[in-house]
Structure 1
Amino acid sequence: MKKIGIAVILMLIFISCSNEKAKSPKVSDYHGKWELIEVTGFRPANIIFDKLGWQESYVFNTDETFTKTRTKDNKTTTATGKFAVKKLDNETHFELTYEENNDIIGTCTGNLIEDLSINKEGLLVNSWQMCDGPGLIYKKSK
């Protein structure tokens, strides 16, 4: 009986550990295209994507460069730069440094640096909402 109990406990521990690892994206998983799926504000209601009014995406390349693209009113705007991945408080953060000023940069300071992070659900979120900007949430394309 003891052997069965120990086997069950070991199996539960193994399953718990393997599920935890599956939820944590690897650095290489960040590369690729992330598309805007949700915009939030101070109100609890979220804007539905098809009513958003613009489309936006980031593409993170393996050479630590990125491209941000926004299409609004049939006009496409693109901005590029370099990014760095950092671990802060057990979360993965991106520091994007743009090559030049552009209206699509979402920053609290008005400079060329934009901060993003990966939340517990594996979605990319901006930090702009901390200074009265919209909360923008992106999902990685497959």
Structure 2
Amino acid sequence: MIRYVLFLFGLFVVSCSSDNNVEQVFDINKFPQEWVLVTSEITNSMPKSDTLNEQESIVLLSSGRFTKTKETESGYISSEGDFEFVQSDDQITIQLNHDAQNELIINCSDSLIELFALVSDSSLSGGAVPCDGPSVFYQRIK
């Protein structure tokens, strides 16, 4: 009898537990979208960091505008501009067109354009890896 009660109790506990590891599904056409930097690494010189000292985010608005913000020890840095989704054969890329040159732009040139590959509906990757610069990975939270 005690085994039966323990079995039912165990079944109850298992059936009532929630799975917090389930990835949230996002619609690419819903705005605003908020993406936060989760990892960054510099090719051949620095290991991947899962605990970033600086908070960085990108917010995409339905108007086609974006704001990229970075919180540092000395304050906030931000950049604004227009964005667009670029569809190729098998890849969707988010292209950020910054209004002005600033230190938040990560690419292999002095251009005002920053590109991010949409890895999944909740994950972006970008950076300046082809020129041995940093790679960055963002996760969508909104």
TM-score by length of 1: 0.73
Deviations 1:75-134 (A, max 9, x none): 100100001111123111011111111111111111111111111474111142222111
Backbone CA RMSD of aligned residues: 2.3
Alpha-carbon distance between aligned partners in 2 of 1:32 and 1:25, rounded to the nearest angstrom: 9
Identity %: 24
Letter in 2 for 1:37: V
Q: Show the counterpart of 1:53.
A: 53
> 1:78-117 residue pairs with structure 2 within 5 A?
78-117=78-117
Deviations 1:14-58 (A, max 9, x none): xxxxxxxxxx96431474110000112335942122xx2211110
Alpha-carbon distance between aligned partners in 2 of 1:63 and 1:128, rounded to the nearest angstrom: 27
Name whichever of 128-137 and 79-88 sits farther off. Answer: 128-137
Q: Show the counterpart of 1:36.
A: 37
Structure 2 unmatched ranges of 5 or more: 1-24
Alpha-carbon distance between aligned partners in 2 of 1:134 and 1:31, rounded to the nearest angstrom: 27
Structure 1 unmatched ranges of 5 or more: 1-23
Runs of 4+ off more than 4 Å = none
Structure ranking higher in strand proportion: 2
TM-score by length of 2: 0.73
Rg (Cα) greater in structure: 2
Alpha-carbon distance between aligned partners in 2 of 1:63 and 1:28, rounded to the nearest angstrom: 12
Letter in 2 for 1:137: F
Letter in 1 for 2:28: V
Structure ranking higher in helix proportion: 1
Alpha-carbon distance between aligned partners in 1 of 2:117 and 2:28, rounded to the nearest angstrom: 12
Equivalent residue pairs, number: 118
Letter in 2 for 1:98: H
Alpha-carbon distance between aligned partners in 2 of 1:127 and 1:30, rounded to the nearest angstrom: 24
- Classify the secondary structure of the residue corresponding to 1:130: helix
